[in-house]
Amino acid sequence: MFKVYEEIARASLADELPDRKTCKWILSDQGADLLPLLQAAYVPREKYFGRSVMVHLLNNIQNGLCPEDCGYCAQSKNSSANIRKYPIKPEEEILEEAERAARAGATRYCMVLSGRGPSTRTVRKLASTIKKVKQALPIEVCLSAGLLGDEQAAILAEAGLDRLNHNLNTSESHYPSICSTHTFQDRVNTLLAARRHGVEPCSGLIVGMGETSDDLIDVALKLRELEVPSIPVNFLIPIEGNPVQGSGALNPESCLRALVMLRLINPRAEIRISAGREGHLRGLGALALWPANSLFIEGYLTTKGDAATETYEMIRDAGFEIEGNSLFKDDRTNEKRSGFRVSGSDGEILKPEIRAS
Ligand code: SF4
């Protein structure tokens, strides 16, 4: 590694904050060279997480019908996106899907509800479901349910909830251009309530909503200030019918640079490659495992993603290991595999057709 990249890695290991000029140089495609930058970000990643990859599986347990106006979200009141809307799923279904997540190798099962925030009655119902999952399965449970206060956070903490997600999404100054029905501070308050009651906060962002480099740096710094241990990094999926469509400026390299910046500012956090991984990182998806140590399998809230088998193949081929859980036997860990897979034909070797003359 060149000296400047070595210095970046050293500073990150020492928990020293990179200055704004360095962050901008990392984010600019006219700035740092990508490969040594990824290697520099890998140094803290490797120190805190080795070569392991944590796998999360989302369950959108309540979809649509939201009175809020988050412009990037297909479930908001201002979106005309064609999505299936449904109230909270029956508990039996949520429990079955938790078991499926555990058997598929997920370390964490993330239940997500649309809406501004749940009533205390709904929180009590969720608490009961969380207890059942925790008793039955070797999987951590996360919840994303909108804005919550102390009373609700206390109920969820008592039920054994491992993490409460509420994304900051962008910087405080950019926030009014993506949402007007609640504020950046409302979101911060939810994270603080979780922390006060002993539930780990999880909070991240969406890259590609017309923000500047300064906005990206600001939200990364805020997550550091809040000592958020889990940071999902989404890349905007421009869904037809949503008010926020982004500038279309994202490409695999800009996504990797954003992940590197997030890792260097938050060296100890679980950095998760989230929505938009497949569509924006495309052929460079495996390189994202150098700064990031976590990802989702099998899709996101309203969009599909790669299947677990494909994602696991990418992880193994890049030399990383799936963290999994005690129900999941990854008997292919570190396996040196070779062979050729014919794509588009389910593995069948296509033979030239012989025509009768
Ligand atoms: S992000 Fe959440 S609060 Fe905002 S519109 Fe979507 S479901 Fe509603």
Residue range 46-60, pLDDT digits in tens: 999 999 999 999 999
pLDDT given at position 351 = 36
What's the rounded mean pLDDT across residues 124-132?
Answer: 97
Atom of ligand 1 nearest to the CA of 67: 8
The lowest-confidence range among 17-21, 300-304, 313-317 is 300-304
What's the rounded mean pLDDT across residues 191-219?
Answer: 97
Statement: residue 187 has pLDDT above 60: yes
Ligand 1 midpoint to CA 243 (Å): 13
Ligand 1 midpoint to CA 353 (Å): 53
Atom of ligand 1 nearest to the CA of 66: 8
Output the ligand 1 site: residues, CB below 6 A: 66, 68, 70, 73, 75-76, 114-116, 146
Separation of alpha carbons 247 and 236, rounded Å: 10
Q: Which residue minimizes the CA distance to atom 4 of ligand 1? A: 70
pLDDT given at position 337 = 54
Region of 220 (left: φ > 0; alpha: ψ -120 to 50; beta: rest) is alpha
Separation of alpha carbons 80 and 87, rounded Å: 18
**Pocket perturbation via mutation, ligand 1, pick of 76, 186, 209, 244 by most ligand atoms within 8 A of CB:** 76
Asked whether 257 and 219 are in contact (CB, 8 A), the reply is: no
Ligand 1 midpoint to CA 69 (Å): 7
Statement: residue 173 has pLDDT above 90: yes
What's the rounded mean pLDDT across residues 296-318?
Answer: 84
Residue extents of the structural domains in the chain = 34-322
Asked whether 107 and 54 are in contact (CB, 8 A), the reply is: yes
What's the rounded mean pLDDT across residues 26-45?
Answer: 95
Q: Which residue minimizes the CA distance to atom 7 of ligand 1? A: 114
Asked whether 84 and 63 are in contact (CB, 8 A), the reply is: yes
The pLDDT mean for the chain works out to 90
Statement: residue 357 has pLDDT above 50: no
Statement: residue 192 has pLDDT above 90: yes
Residue range 230-287, pLDDT digits in tens: 999 999 998 889 988 887 889 999 999 999 999 999 999 999 999 999 999 999 999 9
pLDDT given at position 339 = 54
- Token pair for residue 55? 């796998």
Residue range 5-34, pLDDT digits in tens: 999 999 999 999 999 999 999 999 998 899
Q: Which residue minimizes the CA distance to atom 5 of ligand 1? A: 76
pLDDT given at position 216 = 98
What's the rounded mean pLDDT across residues 213-223?
Answer: 98
Query: Would you say the C-alpha torsion 237, 240, 243, 245 has a positive or negative sign?
Result: positive
pLDDT given at position 160 = 97
Confidence of residue 40 (pLDDT cuts 50, 70, 90): very high
pLDDT given at position 340 = 52
Confidence of residue 332 (pLDDT cuts 50, 70, 90): low
What's the rounded mean pLDDT across residues 130-153?
Answer: 97
Q: Distance between alpha carbon 108 and the CA centroid of its chain, in Å? A: 12
Asked whether 226 and 200 are in contact (CB, 8 A), the reply is: no
List the CATH code of the domain at 34-322: 3.20.20.70
What's the rounded mean pLDDT across residues 127-143?
Answer: 97
Atom of ligand 1 nearest to the CA of 114: 7
What's the rounded mean pLDDT across residues 103-114?
Answer: 94
Residue range 66-80, pLDDT digits in tens: 999 999 998 899 898
Ligand 1 midpoint to CA 300 (Å): 14
Asked whether 195 and 201 are in contact (CB, 8 A), the reply is: yes
Atom of ligand 1 nearest to the CA of 77: 5
> What are the C-alpha distances in Å from 195 to residues 75, 151, 301?
27, 13, 25
Ligand 1 midpoint to CA 113 (Å): 9
